[in-house]
Amino acid sequence: MPYDTVKLIYFSPTRTTQKILQAMARGMPVARIDQLDLTPPQAETQSFAELGEELTILGAPVYAGRLPIEAVRRLRRLKSREAPAIVVVVYGNRAYEDALLELKDLAVEQGFRPLAAGAFIGEHSYSTGNRPIAHGRPDEADLNQAREFGQRVFQKLTRVRKWDRMPVLEVPGNFPYKERMKRPPEAPSTQEGLCLLCGTCATVCPAAAVVVEEAVITEPERCLVCQACVKSCPTGARVMEVERINKVAEWLNTHCALRKEPELFL
């Protein structure tokens, strides 16, 4: 089958996963790039038509060594007819642990045929200018690697004659996967003096945890602490002032400062 389209399917609150997938697609000689963004809260209940056979790149960030549960729930709503897929996780320079294996297994369960995989590095959700953790990544070097990887996977795909002769894709990770971290309800807050009530925080929240009326109201029980609202607030009014998270961010800033590089499996 000729592959003239690549479909990008991702959950990406702070957009680093989306950037990596888009760079990979730019390395492919395809006429069309389709995108299915599973980040908005509607993706939790939306019905999706069965996917075709087009080459697909599935991407999600790593949360505590696993896929975010919200990404899993949304990806489970998809059904593919054996489309070839590249599975990609993006992590904040600490570790990706079982997340890539989890995404590969999930892809198989939903009917995809994983033919390549990658673990890329993105700016950590908790990174700030004064407390950087992989700040500014993916950078030019990461995006070039993603583009070249897309090119190499596409070449591999065009050489596949019989899928049943393809070796099974092996990726790092353990099963049973590491236990999901339980955390208390917590959320960013809003500095009223700086807030313009523009509603950006509510628009970008993947969990519908923020409502903006005469003030910004956040439901900590829904919040994923993904930092999408903090990073997109135009006036810097949205801040993460939760002691536990600030301690984690300090630890990451100290212990995960050494640059990690993407790992590719083809």
Ligand X SMILES: Cc1cc2nc3c(=O)[nH]c(=O)nc-3n(C[C@H](O)[C@H](O)[C@H](O)COP(=O)(O)O)c2cc1C
Which residues of this chain interact with ligand X, rule CB under 6 A?
Answer: 12-17, 61-65, 90-95, 122-125, 225-227
How far, rounded to the nearest angstrom, does the alpha carbon of residue 103 sit from its chain's CA centroid?
A: 11
Using the minimum distance from each CB to ligand X, give the nearer residue, 93 or 128.
93
Q: How far is the CB of 152 from ligand X (least distance, A)?
A: 23
Q: Quick one: angle between helices 140-159 and 16-26, nearest 10?
A: 50
Using the minimum distance from each CB to ligand X, give the nearer residue, 28 or 90.
90
Q: How far is the CB of 100 from ligand X (least distance, A)?
A: 12
Q: How far is the CB of 79 from ligand X (least distance, A)?
A: 23
Using the minimum distance from each CB to ligand X, give the nearer residue, 16 or 218.
16
Q: Which helix (H) or strand (E) holds 103?
A: helix 99-109
Q: How far is the CB of 233 from ligand X (least distance, A)?
A: 16
Distances (CA, A) of 169 to 163, 165, 193, 235: 12, 12, 53, 45
Using the minimum distance from each CB to ligand X, give the nearer residue, 36 or 197.
36
Q: For tokens 């087009």, name the residue.
A: 54
Q: How far is the CB of 189 from ligand X (least distance, A)?
A: 16
Q: How far is the CB of 29 from ligand X (least distance, A)?
A: 26
Query: Phi/psi of residue 52, each to 5°?
Result: -85, -150
Using the minimum distance from each CB to ligand X, give the nearer residue, 65 or 150.
65
- Within 8 A by CB and 6+ apart from 59, the residues are 8, 9, 10, 11, 12, 17, 18, 20, 21, 87, 88, 89, 90
| Beta-bridge mates of residue 8 | 35, 57
Q: How far is the CB of 90 from ligand X (least distance, A)?
A: 4
- Residue 15: left (phi > 0), alpha (psi -120 to 50), or beta? left
Using the minimum distance from each CB to ligand X, give the nearer residue, 136 or 199.
136
End-to-end CA distance of the chain: 20
- Which amino acid is it at 265? F
Using the minimum distance from each CB to ligand X, give the nearer residue, 192 or 254.
254
Token pair in block for residue 115:
């033919």
Residue nearest to ligand X (CB): 122
What does the alpha-carbon distance between residue 167 and residue 175 come to, in Å, rounded to a whole number? Answer: 20
